Chains A and B, each alone.
Chain A
C-alpha cells in the first residue's frame, strides 16, 4: 500500500538495477522533463513545495538551500555528500550500490536547478562497490546523452565525476568536505560565507546527501502534493530507516516519514533477539542523543525526535541491549570522536581524548566521584555550541550527555563497586575470550 520511490526499482529488480532496467522503469523521465520543459526556478519551487528536507542529518529544507545560490555568471558546483561515515549508518551505500542511476538522475535535476555545470560525488574511500556502480552509471548516462556537452539535446552542459575520499569523519561536515574535494586537509571553514555563496574553489556550491538527491526524481515526476502525502505526520516523503544491534533482522526499510520507532524495531527489524532486552537507542547515528523505552512510540520525524531531546540524524538507529555496558559504549563512542577530531580547536582536540580517558577509568574501576563530576563538566563545556569551530564536538557529546542522564545509575555503580558490573572482573573482555577457547 505504501509507496517507495527510493527503493521500488531495487525491489522489482531483486537487487542491482542496471541502466537498461532503470530506463524501462521510468528512469530519466524526470530529469528529461526538468531539463527540457521546466525553468530552474520551477524545479526549485517544486522541491521547496514538496518540503523535502536534507536526509544527511541536519534536515534543512532542500529547495530553500538551492534558492540560496546567487544568480551570478560563472561556474557553480553541485556536490553529493556520499561520505557516509556516521557510525551506524548504511543507507546511502544501499542506494548507490543497488540503484546508482537514481542518484545520477537526482544530481542532474539538482544541478540544473541551481545552474551548476560541474558536479561531484564525494564518496567514502571504503565504498568500493559504490564506486564501481557509480562510475559505470555515469559512463552509461554520458553515452545516452543524459550528461555531457548537451544534456537531453539542450544547451545545458553538465560534467559529473566521482572523488574518492582519503577517509576522515570530519569530511561529512560540508565545508570540510569542500576542502577535501579541493585536495586539502579536511578542516571546516569559517561560516559565513556559506557554500551556496562561496563553496568549492570559491564558487557557489550546493552540498546534498545521497538520499536527499535520490528523492528528487519522484518529486519532479509526481509532484509536491503527492510527495507530501507520503509522510504520516508533519514531514514529507519516505525515509530509509535502519536498525543495527541485537535485533532478529538488522537492516534497512523505506517507510513513510514519521513511522513510529516501535514499529521499525518490532515489526521491521523483528524485535530483540531472544535473551536480550532493549535499554536505549541512538536514533540517527553515533552523534545523536540516546532515547529510551519511554520514547518508543515517538514518530521518527525531525520535530518529534528533537522535542524528545535528540535528533533524527540519519534515521539509522543503533540499539543498546541489556548485555552492553552503557559506560563502555560511551567510551567506544568517544574513542571514535576523539580519533576523528580534525585537531583544529582545543576543546575538541584535547577535550574528547580526556573524556575518553575518564570513561576508561570509570569502566575499569579506577573512577571516583570527582571523575564523574569532571565528566559532567567537560560534557557541558565541550558540547556547548560556540565553544568549538564546527559541530563535531557538539555531536560527540550528545550521546555522552544523554548516557549520563539516562544511565546515571550505571556510572555510579562502576565507581561504587570499583569495576564494571557487566564484566566478571577488570580486563575481563580478554579473560572471556580466553575462556571461549
Chain B
C-alpha cells in the first residue's frame, strides 16, 4: 500500500477499522474524518505522527489532513486527560444555570477550560448544545451524559471516572 515506515505508527486494529470505513466510500480521502476519530478513540488524541500516518494511509497530504483535523471541534490535536469533561455552554443550559455549573466544575478540578489536571485524569472543555436540553444543565464525560446536574452533584459525578 504505502511506505511501512509511516504506516506502522498505526496499530493493525486502527488500520482495520479505517479500512472498514473506506469500504463504504467512493475514495480513500473521504474517510479522513472517520480515520481521525478512529485513531483518537485508540490514543485519546491525534499527534503529528498519527496525522502523517493517517494521511499516508489515505493517500493525501498531511497538511490537507491537518486542515480538516483542526476544523472540527471533536478532533483533538493536543493530548487530553483520561477523561474529557464537556460542559454545554449553549442557550438552554445557559438559561438553566450552565455558567455557574461551569464555574463550580472549574473550581472542583482546579483548571480552566482547555486545560488538563496535573494527574492527567480530566480535561475540561466547553462544548456546544449536547441535544439533551430537557435535562439542562448537562455535561458529557467521555460518552456519558449527566443532567440535570446540580452544582452539588459535580463531585460525585466526576468522581465516578477514574
Taking a contact as CB atoms closer than 8 A, the residue among A185, A250, A333 that contacts B91 in the complex is A333
Known contacts A185-B67, A186-B71, A332-B89: A324-B133 contact under CB 8 Å: no
B91 touches A336 (CB 8 A): yes
Among residues 317 to 341 in chain A, which have CB atoms less than 8 Å away from a CB atom of chain B?
A: 318-321, 324, 329, 332-333, 335-336, 339-340
A166 touches B134 (CB 8 A): no
Q: Which of B68, B86, B133, B136 has the most C-beta atoms of chain A within 10 angstroms of its own C-beta?
A: B133
Known contacts A182-B30, A429-B99: A166-B37 contact under CB 8 Å: yes
Complex contacts, A242 vs chain B, CB 8 Å: 133-134
Taking a contact as CB atoms closer than 8 A, the residue among B75, B96, B129, B140 that contacts A166 in the complex is B75
Report the minimal beta-carbon distance from A26 to chain B, rounded to whole angstroms.
28
B134 touches A329 (CB 8 A): no
Report the minimal beta-carbon distance from A397 to chain B, rounded to whole angstroms.
15
Report the minimal beta-carbon distance from A142 to chain B, rounded to whole angstroms.
13
Complex contacts, B134 vs chain A, CB 8 Å: 90, 242-244, 250-252
Say yes or no for A432: interface residue by CB 8 A criterion. Answer: yes
Say yes or no for A207: interface residue by CB 8 A criterion. Answer: no
Say yes or no for B14: interface residue by CB 8 A criterion. Answer: no
Say yes or no for A402: interface residue by CB 8 A criterion. Answer: no
Known contacts A93-B132, A164-B34: A332-B94 contact under CB 8 Å: yes
A124 touches B133 (CB 8 A): no
Taking a contact as CB atoms closer than 8 A, the residue among A85, A183, A250 that contacts B131 in the complex is A85
Say yes or no for B151: interface residue by CB 8 A criterion. Answer: yes
Say yes or no for A45: interface residue by CB 8 A criterion. Answer: no
A169–B104 Cα distance when bound, in Å, is 27
A183 touches B128 (CB 8 A): no
> For residue A340, which residue of chain B has the nearest CB?
B128
Known contacts A84-B131, A89-B131, A89-B133: A159-B24 contact under CB 8 Å: yes
B71 touches A166 (CB 8 A): yes
Say yes or no for B33: interface residue by CB 8 A criterion. Answer: yes
Among residues 71 to 107 in chain A, which have CB atoms less than 8 Å away from a CB atom of chain B?
A: 84-90, 92-93
Among residues 15 to 52 in chain B, which have CB atoms less than 8 Å away from a CB atom of chain A?
A: 24-27, 29-34, 36-37
Among residues 120 to 155 in chain A, which have CB atoms less than 8 Å away from a CB atom of chain B?
A: 120, 124-128
Say yes or no for B117: interface residue by CB 8 A criterion. Answer: no
Say yes or no for A27: interface residue by CB 8 A criterion. Answer: no
Known contacts A128-B143, A159-B24, A166-B74: A329-B91 contact under CB 8 Å: yes
Among residues 62 to 85 in chain B, which have CB atoms less than 8 Å away from a CB atom of chain A?
A: 67-68, 71-75
Complex contacts, A433 vs chain B, CB 8 Å: 100, 103-104
Interface size on B, residues (CB 8 A): 44
A89 touches B129 (CB 8 A): yes
Say yes or no for B95: interface residue by CB 8 A criterion. Answer: yes
Say yes or no for A201: interface residue by CB 8 A criterion. Answer: yes
Taking a contact as CB atoms closer than 8 A, the residue among B36, B90, B100, B104 that contacts A336 in the complex is B90
Complex contacts, B72 vs chain A, CB 8 Å: 165-168, 186
Can you list, as one digit per residue, whether each of A241-279 has a CB less than 8 Å from chain B (1) or not (0)?
A: 011111000111000000000000000000000000000
Say yes or no for A221: interface residue by CB 8 A criterion. Answer: no
The dominant DSSP class at the A interface is: mixed
A85 touches B32 (CB 8 A): no
A85 touches B92 (CB 8 A): no
Complex contacts, B25 vs chain A, CB 8 Å: 183
Known contacts A336-B128, A433-B104: A126-B68 contact under CB 8 Å: no
Say yes or no for B130: interface residue by CB 8 A criterion. Answer: yes
A250 touches B143 (CB 8 A): no
Report the minimal beta-carbon distance from A180 to chain B, rounded to whole angstroms.
7
B32 touches A86 (CB 8 A): no
A87–B126 Cα distance when bound, in Å, is 14
B129 touches A324 (CB 8 A): no
> For residue B24, which residue of chain A has the nearest CB?
A161
A433–B107 Cα distance when bound, in Å, is 11
B129 touches A320 (CB 8 A): no
Complex contacts, B68 vs chain A, CB 8 Å: 166, 183-185
Can you list, as one digit per residue, whether each of B125-162 has a CB less than 8 Å from chain A (1) or not (0)?
A: 00111111111100010010000000100000000000
A244 touches B24 (CB 8 A): no
Report the minimal beta-carbon distance from A358 to chain B, rounded to whole angstroms.
18
Complex contacts, A167 vs chain B, CB 8 Å: 72-75, 128
Report the minimal beta-carbon distance from A428 to chain B, rounded to whole angstroms.
11
Complex contacts, A124 vs chain B, CB 8 Å: 131
Complex contacts, B27 vs chain A, CB 8 Å: 201
Say yes or no for A316: interface residue by CB 8 A criterion. Answer: yes
Known contacts A125-B74, A244-B133, A332-B89: A183-B24 contact under CB 8 Å: no
A169 touches B95 (CB 8 A): no
A183–B27 Cα distance when bound, in Å, is 10
A183 touches B96 (CB 8 A): no
> For residue B29, which residue of chain A has the nearest CB?
A183
Say yes or no for A282: interface residue by CB 8 A criterion. Answer: yes
Q: Which residues of A are at the interface with B, using a C-beta cutoff of 8 A?
A: 84-90, 92-93, 120, 124-128, 159, 161, 163-169, 180-186, 201, 242-246, 250-252, 282, 286, 316, 318-321, 324, 329, 332-333, 335-336, 339-340, 342, 429-430, 432-433, 436
Q: A84-B131, A88-B90, A336-B90 are in contact. List 8 more A-B contacts (CB 8 A).
A: A85-B131, A87-B92, A125-B37, A163-B33, A165-B74, A286-B129, A318-B133, A332-B94
13 pairs from A and B in contact (CB 8 Å cutoff): A125-B74, A126-B86, A126-B127, A126-B130, A159-B24, A163-B34, A167-B75, A183-B34, A185-B67, A318-B133, A329-B95, A340-B128, A436-B100
